[in-house]
Chains A and B, each alone.
Chain A
């Protein structure tokens, strides 16, 4: 009989539904999604924008032109031919190179001379100041000179006991790959739980501060039911949003692996922070205190997580990029068990509270 009553008739699901409905009625959920989208777009903009400053392919035409002079200018010029996006122009004199630089005919000037005893080469590199291209120019100069250093080092290899390992050739990889999986995806997946926790603080303290908890008590529900309902709504909202982000990422050709373990993990994290929020709400009964403590404690917990064998952000990254190890899955299971235990503890705490005292 009790089974056939179904989940939907349960008072707890009713409260959970009402919680979510109130979010959608106030359209705050839309605001929440917009904020998350903005943060994602913002951080992507930062990385994409900054990387494009470094990225040679973002510069139209022939790349950068470098004026070279000094007594090893020929060697430099030969090296430049092997480096993409750099054209070297030899100048007889440093002044000639500099006046070309001043007229904007070359983007940078390298003056390379042997030191007095001939053991080293001193390069004075001149790059344009206060210019968007500066970053790119410096990156290109670095590439050119690093290559140059390698050739010069090869010539002196008899004096070295360690022979440098050969570099694998350029792989033409997306410069955003690492960022996407280690920063963007964890960020997108952790924001919903943290917001859920913060909202659950509000859900509890608002009932208390407005005095509407009294009204709920007249209805045939216990405080534990109320807490169950509120926590359920908030904890489930997080994985739903996570799923949305994963879907949106896949539209952008960013494949996320291990979707199910990720969702379980996000749910576990959400449960932990929602429990924190609810307990703080009940313990302080005031939003101001509870929110302050919540935000400080969440940051603290996130920091303390570095003492775990694997940071939760790394767990998400490894799951998403499909490099999960046994330890990663153990982490997911551990968090789920821990979250369940915490939740049980929170229910016990709620049942021990005298509602009259709130």
Chain B
């Protein structure tokens, strides 16, 4: 790869309108984006009243509820409606201070909504009272502490990775628990925080000791973004009315996530167009026959978009850091967003190499947008809850913006899979960047096979190809964990199904592609050998998943199920067996599907199904064994 050639292609891409966008378009787009930026606050405010006028309420003007209904945009007051109209033109009927809902889901929802509206209205009125201690007699400071014997889903201390959610068992353990445990000071407070509340040991007076907790325990963390800091980080909360308590739901982090993701969606539109337009009317042939390698062409065409995207993201990251903390920073955020940008571009590149028409490209781009946004997004929801959040690089960004430190292993765990995936995607796409594929109208599945079979010349190449696919397997499985994990215990068998399907496809597809391209002779012996190679390739690559152990993902029962990490508390022979059992499994299942692949499409599909089934049975057996040991 010669940088000078690459840069020249990059310069053409920007200046010669080979891929760039003319000034008129830029001006209109710039103006529109500026207008959107101006509108954004108004639109955000509108979001809250999306449910404007959804519920209709029959309420007299002299009723106390009238003001509530009037002030809340969700409701429409219908003072003239009668009881007969209930369920027809009104959803709630209020008479003499009694609220009757229509006998429908809508009526019930309206009543529930009225309940929270009344609460908000009361609080608002009480704010204006002169005697605030009578209006809000209870003040609360909320702290979060670790439970060393966590009975929930997570064992945060890492001692006991096999712990699963088992509420029934837990309640059995304390059936005779009517008598409270007496406080004999069994070093329960593990000193995680600086509250002074513990001095009220006798529990009867305690009045003077607790006064100070308000200030110390619940102080919102300083690194947060504006006043929302404490809500984001879940470090604690101090409020003068219990109704203001908020659970640790990182709404702001979702908004931040969108800010980073949205520019990417515009960018990949243009990038996809530029790649696909090379393929129209054999336009790209000129570059292909010129004395530059395809890597230089691809690099040159991608560089401006990558640089542009990183510039935009860097401005966002530095800007948000400045707004949030008042300092110049955000380097970690920029580094964390880089693999995501690369992944967006790489997926679009492959999509543009696959697409046969602009229309198809549009759908491919939308698919990429949706898929990658959810990959970045779903885990980030759990930013404060569990280590699962680290699956998404956005979590690193959110934490960095909040001024929290991100440890190096966590950072690596978060960014490595998308970065590797991006590299692999570019590699596969580059395999298609040649005359036969660029200018021919081939169906997408055939092109996928082309891409996979392209570099395969020798048998061991199949194993290497399988190993190369692992980042995808990893990303898909992580995404599945994030998506399914909220379902609780049901998620584990579902995950095993996902694991079996994804892994078997990854192992067998390169073999099938090689056969489809007549790379190897179609005999059973050769198929068995290829299968064994593919299985071994997968096994070697899979050991990368040990990376997951660095951040404690295996402590999650779901993480275990997906990644098949061996327990650490068994004897050496079993450990060795558990280490090599997967090799056997991958070899066997890959051989099954390879034999099918050597006999044509239909046999391949059947054999693949069998392989998935074997894999699933194995996983279930191992899982029940592992869980049974506990």
Contacts and interface: CB of A to CB of B under 8 A. Distances in A.
Contact of B486 (A52, A136, A152): A52
Interface stretch (A7-15, A260-268, A287-295, A347-355): A287-295
B111 A168 contact: yes
B183 A300 contact: no
A135 B384 CA distance: 11
Contacts of B115: 167-171
A183 interface: yes
B21 A288 contact: yes
Contacts of A67: 180
A120 interface: yes
B79 interface: no
B206 A210 contact: no
Interface in B136-167: 136-154, 156, 167
Interface in B151-204: 151-154, 156, 167-168, 170-171, 174, 177, 180-190, 195, 197-198, 200-204
A53 B565 CA distance: 28
A310 B52 contact: yes
B362 A202 contact: yes
B142 A161 contact: no
B50 interface: yes
Nearest to B45: A306
Contacts of A42: 370, 374
Interface string A153-185: 101110111101111111111100110011100
Interface string B352-380: 00001111111110110010001000100
A139 B138 CA distance: 16
Interface string A230-244: 000000000000000
Interface in B38-86: 39-40, 42-43, 46, 49-56, 64-65, 68, 76
Contact of B190 (A23, A59, A102): A102
A252 interface: no
Contact of B118 (A32, A168, A206, A291): A168
A206 B358 CA distance: 6
Contacts of A119: 133-134, 137
A159 B56 CA distance: 35
Contact of B277 (A146, A203, A209): A209
A149 B142 CA distance: 16
A171 B112 contact: yes
B138 A113 contact: no
A183 B146 contact: no
B150 to A, nearest CB: 6
A120 B385 contact: no
Q: Sort chain A's interface into a size bin.
A: 35 or more
B105 A173 contact: yes
Given A167-B115, A170-B112, A95 B36 contact: no
A128 B190 CA distance: 13
B588 interface: no
B285 to A, nearest CB: 15
A119 B136 CA distance: 10
B184 A304 contact: no
Nearest to A39: B370
Interface string B106-137: 11110111110011011001101111011111
B29 A125 contact: no
A155 B40 CA distance: 46
Interface string B228-258: 0000001000000111011111000000000
A292 B266 contact: yes
A26 B210 contact: no
Interface in A30-60: 31-32, 35, 38-39, 42, 45-46, 49-50, 52-54, 59-60
Nearest to B179: A89
Nearest to A322: B106
B554 interface: no
A50 B249 contact: yes
Nearest to B75: A323
Contact of A288 (B19, B39, B97, B265): B19
Nearest to A209: B280
Given A61-B167, A92-B182, A111-B210, A160 B129 contact: yes
A214 interface: no
B207 interface: yes
A216 to B, nearest CB: 16
Interface stretch (A219-227, A312-320, A337-345): A312-320
A2 interface: no
Interface string A191-207: 00001001101110110
A105 B177 contact: yes
A303 B131 CA distance: 43
Given A111-B197, A138-B247, 18 more contacts: A23-B359, A31-B364, A61-B167, A102-B148, A103-B188, A122-B213, A123-B141, A124-B143, A130-B385, A134-B234, A138-B246, A165-B65, A206-B359, A287-B277, A292-B270, A306-B46, A314-B51, A325-B53
23 contacts: A35-B370, A49-B486, A70-B206, A93-B182, A104-B150, A111-B200, A121-B138, A124-B197, A125-B140, A125-B143, A130-B146, A130-B386, A132-B152, A132-B386, A135-B385, A165-B64, A165-B65, A165-B68, A178-B51, A286-B273, A291-B269, A306-B39, A325-B53
Interface of A: 22-23, 26, 28, 31-32, 35, 38-39, 42, 45-46, 49-50, 52-54, 59-62, 67, 69-71, 89-105, 111, 113-116, 119-136, 138-139, 141-142, 145-146, 148-149, 152-153, 155-157, 159-162, 164-174, 177-178, 181-183, 186, 195, 198-199, 201-203, 205-206, 209-211, 284, 286-289, 291-293, 295-297, 299-300, 303-304, 306, 310-311, 313-314, 317-318, 321-323, 325
Interface of B: 19, 21-22, 25, 28-29, 32-33, 35-36, 39-40, 42-43, 46, 49-56, 64-65, 68, 76, 91, 97, 99, 101, 105-109, 111-115, 118-119, 121-122, 125-126, 128-131, 133-154, 156, 167-168, 170-171, 174, 177, 180-190, 195, 197-198, 200-208, 210-211, 213-214, 217, 234, 241-243, 245-249, 265-266, 269-270, 273-274, 276-277, 280-281, 356-364, 366-367, 370, 374, 378, 381, 384-386, 483, 486-487
Report, nearest first, the 7 A-B pairs whose CB atoms are least far apart. Answer: A96-B183, A99-B188, A145-B242, A93-B183, A202-B358, A177-B109, A171-B111
